[in-house]
Chain A
C-alpha cells in the first residue's frame, strides 16, 4: 500500500517547521518499510494549523495539524490504521474556516504540486487560456471588463479598462508587468499564489499578452520572497516546456514569454511607476502621471501593470465567464477578495470571500479575536498606509467604497489585529517613520513631511503646545495627502489621523496624564 500525504513548502509553513515534518515522515516511513509519497504543496492558508499534513483517502484529503516532527511516528501509525489521532481535523474541505470561503483565485492553492504543470492542468488549470484563444483579443478584454475585476494591488482601478487602453495603443513592442512587490505588512496572498499555484499567474499574464498584443512579460518580485522567486522561476521553465509560454502559446500563433526580476528592498517599488523605473535599472522613483503606463510604461512602451491577484483571477473569469465572477460581491466591488488575517490573531491566514463581509465578522468570527486572548483594540486594514479602525467601525463591509467613505482603504486586503496593549501614538509615529525610511525622495511632502510628522507627534505625546501641534499635524497630513505624487506620501495620513481621531487618549491627552499622576 502506498500512502500519499501532502505537506506545504509555502514559506510561512517552512517558517514553522514543515520541512522538518516532511523529513520526519520520510524517516519514519523508511524505518517501517512503508511506501510513502510526500507531495509538497502550497499552503491552504490556515496558518495557525501549520504545519498541516493531509493524507489522500478514497473520500478525499483528510487534514492533521499543527504537526511537529515528534508527531510523525505516531501519526504514521494512525494513518496506517483507521486514521484516528488527536491532531485529526477531518476532511480538509469540511473544516469550517475553509468551507465558509469562496475560493476562486485560490481554488488550487494548497492542493496541487506547484512544480507540476500536469497537476495544474489536472485540476482545471489552462481552461481560461483555451477559452481566451477561442475568443480572441477584443473579446478577452470585454470579458475582463464585464467581470468587474478591479486592481487587487490596492488602487482598485478597473482591470478591463487598463487592458483596453493598452490594446488600443499602437506600438511594435508592448509589455505585461506583474507587480509582485507585496510590501504591505499583513499581506501574503501574492506570495502564497506564487509559491502554491504559480501557473495560474503565468496563465493570467499570458492571457493579458494575447489580449493586448504584448509579447514579453516581467514578474517583479520583492527580494524578501526568495521562495516565491524560486517557485516562479521553476514554473516559468515548466510553462515553456509545456507550451504555456513561448513562440506558440497554447499551440496558437501568439507569442509570449516571461522573466522574473527581483527587487532590492524598496517598499516604494510597489508603486507601479517606481516599479517600472526599477525594472529599467534606475532608482525606484515615482513618475508623474500622465503619461499613464498604459501609454508609456516600461522602456516607454505601452504596458499592462497589474498585481499578482488581478492576473491570477483572470483565468477563472475567462473559464467561467464574466457573469459568474461578477455575481459575487457588492456595489462596485465585484467578485471575491483574498483577505489576509494577520498580526495578533487567533486564526490567521488567507480567507477568500465575496466582497461585502463586515470587518467585525472577519476579525471576531473568522479570526477568532487575538492570539493573546486580550480584547481587540484596533485593526489596521490595507497595509502600512491603511487606517486603524476601532471596534466602533467593525460594521464596515469589506468593499472599496465603504472603506473610502470611512477614511480607510482595503488596499491589498491585509488586516492586522492589535490587542489592548497597543500604543496607538507609537503606531502613528511608526507610520511617519516608515514613510521617511521608504520615501523615494522625489516629492517634498513625502520626503520632508514624514520626518516633520515624527517630530510633531513627539511634541504632542510630550504635551508641548498640544492644541497648536495637533493643528499642525492635521495641516501636515492634509499637505501629504493632496501634495504627494503617489500613495506612499498620500496615504500615510490615514494611519496617522485615524490613530489620533479614534485613540486620542494614547497621544498623552491631559485627562490620561492627570489620571496617572
Chain B
C-alpha cells in the first residue's frame, strides 16, 4: 500500500523495531506485514520467525498469512511498480490490448520484474477508477483514461 519506492535492504534490527511498533494494536499481523513491506519492499523469509515469536504463534501461521495476500511480495520489487487494472470495467474500456502492449514493451510478463530491475509489472483487480478507465498506478500515482500514448509515457517513466 505504501507510496514509498526507495527501500532499505533487509535488516533484522530494523525489522524487530517495526514489529514492536505494531504490538499495541489488536490483531497486529497485517499491520506488521505492511510495515515490513513498506520498509524493505517485500517480506523477507527471515522475518517470519521474528513475527511468530513476537505474536506467540507458529511460523507456519505467519507463512500462511504472508502467502495468502496478493500484496505481500516474497522478493524485492523493481525500482518502479506499475500496476495495470485488469478488471472488467477496464477490460470494457480497452484495457486488454494496453496490457499486452505493456508486457511487450517492457519485455516482462504480468506479475514479474524486468531483468534489469527497473520495473515490476503487476495486475490489479480494480483501482476504483472505473469511470475514467482504463487505469493504472505507477509507484502509488494513479493514472486514468489510458490510451497508447499515455501508457507509453508511463512505460518510459517506469524504465528509468
A: which residues have CB within 8 A of B?
11-12, 14-16, 45, 47-48, 50, 182-188, 190-191, 223-227, 229, 259, 261-267, 278-285, 299, 340-345, 348-350, 371, 380, 384, 414, 416-419, 422, 427, 430, 434, 437-438, 440
Contacts and interface: CB of A to CB of B under 8 A. Distances in A.
A348 B135 CA distance: 14
B69 A284 contact: yes
B48 interface: no
A249 B31 CA distance: 27
A419 B26 CA distance: 47
Closest A-B pairs by Cβ, 9 of them: A281-B29, A15-B144, A348-B131, A185-B87, A342-B130, A343-B92, A264-B69, A265-B70, A47-B131
Contacts of A414: 89, 130
Contact of B92 (A279, A344, A384): A344
B88 interface: yes
B89 A281 contact: no
Given A262-B34, A266-B68, A283-B64, A418 B92 contact: yes
A225 B71 contact: no
B104 interface: no
Given A183-B126, A264-B69, A281-B28, A16 B92 contact: no
A369 B128 CA distance: 21
A182 B64 CA distance: 24
B92 A416 contact: yes
B50 to A, nearest CB: 15
Nearest to A283: B68
Contacts, number: 163
B130 A416 contact: yes
Contact of B65 (A16, A226, A261, A282): A282
B145 A16 contact: yes
A349 B28 contact: no
B144 A434 contact: no
A405 to B, nearest CB: 23
B142 interface: yes
**Size class of the B contact interface (CB-based, 8 Å):** 35 or more
B159 interface: no
Given A261-B30, A280-B27, 8 more contacts: A225-B128, A281-B30, A281-B55, A340-B130, A342-B130, A348-B130, A416-B88, A416-B130
B90 interface: yes
Contact of B125 (A183, A191, A229, A282): A183
B128 A265 contact: no
Interface of B: 1, 3, 25-31, 33-34, 55, 61, 64-65, 68-72, 87-94, 124-133, 135, 137, 140, 142-145
A16 B1 contact: no
A188 B30 contact: no
A262 to B, nearest CB: 5
A16 B55 CA distance: 43
B89 A342 contact: yes
Given A185-B87, A185-B88, A264-B71, A341 B131 contact: yes
A51 B113 CA distance: 33
Contacts of B65: 281-283
A447 B35 CA distance: 30
Contacts of B68: 266, 283-285, 440
B157 to A, nearest CB: 15
B129 A15 contact: yes
B130 A187 contact: yes
Contacts of B61: 282
Given A15-B144, A264-B30, A283-B65, A184 B133 contact: no
A262 B132 contact: no
Nearest to B92: A343
Contacts of A45: 131
A498 to B, nearest CB: 13
B154 to A, nearest CB: 12
Given A185-B89, A185-B125, A371-B93, A265 B130 contact: no
B142 A264 contact: no
A15 B131 CA distance: 11
A380 B88 CA distance: 9
A229 B127 CA distance: 13
A414 B69 CA distance: 25
A110 B127 CA distance: 20
B129 A188 contact: yes
Nearest to A380: B88
Contact of A224 (B3, B27, B29, B127): B127
Nearest to A495: B88
Given A264-B33, A384-B88, A434-B125, A188 B27 contact: no
Contact of A264 (B3, B72, B89): B72
Contact of A226 (B1, B29, B92, B132): B1
A344 B90 CA distance: 8
A273 to B, nearest CB: 15
Contacts of A434: 87, 125
A185 B30 contact: no
Nearest to B144: A15
A22 to B, nearest CB: 15
Given A261-B30, A264-B71, A11 B88 contact: no
